[in-house]
Structures are given as structure tokens and as C-alpha cells.
Structure 1
């Protein structure tokens, strides 16, 4: 039986968020990532940052992933677009954050980020499927840049492991979708 020892193993274990992000990106690509799925991924990812700011708990971004995913799917059962459901839930998060006395600069920053990415993915959903897919994928890659910025500058707002996970999910998934879209059939 082989065991992990030494500094290489420690570094590998330290990068678990990257490994998980890459696995989720791969699963999304193999599952046939489409415009709606990529747009929902952007909305859920951005909502995680708002949740962390609203509760002033960096780890809340991790807890928010399954919550936002369930809410997005649940909205779909009610025939409400997952991006619209996520936007409504973010509005509630902002109110909760304000009532809780969350840091106004953090809540404002994350809400502005959600609104910016949200507007772009709503536009992507209104475009033809191919053009919308490209715009949603580019938005996902841009959210990866947002993730890197948080990883380097806003570690107090969002858990660094979550930001690292998101970089490893957003950028590879967005780029893979673009490559697959551009590849000849």
C-alpha cells in the first residue's frame, strides 16, 4: 500500500479546492454544458460571494453552493428560470445582510459583482443559444478573474479555498465550453 508522505503530498493535499473545482468542471463538460447551465453556474457562483458578505462569514460561501443549487433547481420545478430564482434569493440575502449589520463595503462589492455578472448572463439567455453560450462562457471566465482577485485581496470576505475552487471551476469550464463550441462538428 502506498501512502502520501513528504512536502509533495502536503502541497497536493493543500490544493484540494483546485482538484474539486477541476472535477466539477469536467463533470459539467461531460454532462453537456449548455447556455442555461453555464449561466446558472455564473449566477450561483456570484451568489456565494453575496451570501458570505451578508452573513460576514467567509465559510458561508461554501455552505451556499448546495443551498443555491437546490433553490435554483427548485425554482425550475416552479417554472422559474434558475437565474431569476438566484437573483430573487440574492435580493433576500442583501436584506438579511443589511438587517444583520454586515459590512457595507463587502456587501456592496459582492452585490455589485452579482448584478454585473447577472446582467450579462440574463443578456446571454436572451440571445440565440450559440451566441448566448459564448457570452455565458466568457462571463464564467471573467468570474474566474473575480475569483483570483478575491483569492489575493479579499480573503476576509470569502474563504480562500472557495475562491480557489471557483477559479478551478470557472476558467476551465468556460474555456472548455468555448473550445467545444468552436470545434468543427
Structure 2
């Protein structure tokens, strides 16, 4: 059996169509697995939900002696965002961060860096951490490190900023404000 030029083109056309579909399929697969920031469109604050609900979701104990404890839950189209903030001493803040099993140690970030919480902390009457100078940040991915203590938590963003009366980083033992955003 001999192949005509027309019959030889058919397999080439079929494979070209398949190749054209590959970028679309790859894009969909990557977007399904990406760790993008939660969408803020059509979100609303859950009434009556605050620090206890956020701490329970993250499965953490607010340090003894912490003050200015505040929290909220924002319902978003695909998930809930839990916000928690409080004042504590540097040692307690570092211990809490270590317990979260972060991706990297706390490190200084420039003001205006992006944040999972966006301006959500304004809802709590606080300046957003990404607007403060000298804030240190890290993140944690409980499923990535097999942290079975936090089964429903996909990601946690942590910001630690020096409160009035202390130097950035807590070198003089001043109080620090801890900001946590989790989903």
C-alpha cells in the first residue's frame, strides 16, 4: 500500500493540533497546583469570628502575657483567611515562629512587599505589616513539611515588627507585634 501526499498530511495535522492543546493543558495543571495568593474578590468578614477562631485554626497557643490580641476571619470565594495579631516579647515570638516549622528563618523585608493578608489587618485597626519598616517575615507550609498538627492549614505567613520602645529585631528586649495570616 502506498501513501498519498494527502494521507501523509493527516497524521502531521493531528499531531500539530495535539501540540496546540498542550500549552492550555499545562497551564491548567500548573494553575491547579500553584500556591497563589487567595483571591480577595467577593470576600466578607465572618461576624463573631476573631482571635480564638484564628488561633484554633492555626493550632497555636497565644503566648502567656500577650496583649493586644486581635483576630478575624475573612470568607473568600475559595477559602477562608484567618488573621491573628498580638504583642509579646521577642523570645516568645521566636519560639512561636520555630514551632510553625517555617520555610526559612525570619528575615527583614522592605516595606511595601506583598502580603497574603493584603490590607486585612486594617480591619483589626492595625497598620498592615507590609507597610511597616523593619518588619521580619517568614512563611510556613504545613503540608510541605508533613506537620500533622495543622491538617487543614495550607499556608501561614508570619510578620514580626518591633513595637514602640524597642529597636527592630528586639535586641533590647522590647515587645514585638506578631502578625499571622493563614489559609
TM bucket normalised to smaller: under 0.3
The TM-score, its normalising length taken from structure 2, stands at 0.25
Structure (1/2) with the larger strand percentage: 2
The TM-score, its normalising length taken from structure 1, stands at 0.25
Rg larger in structure: 2
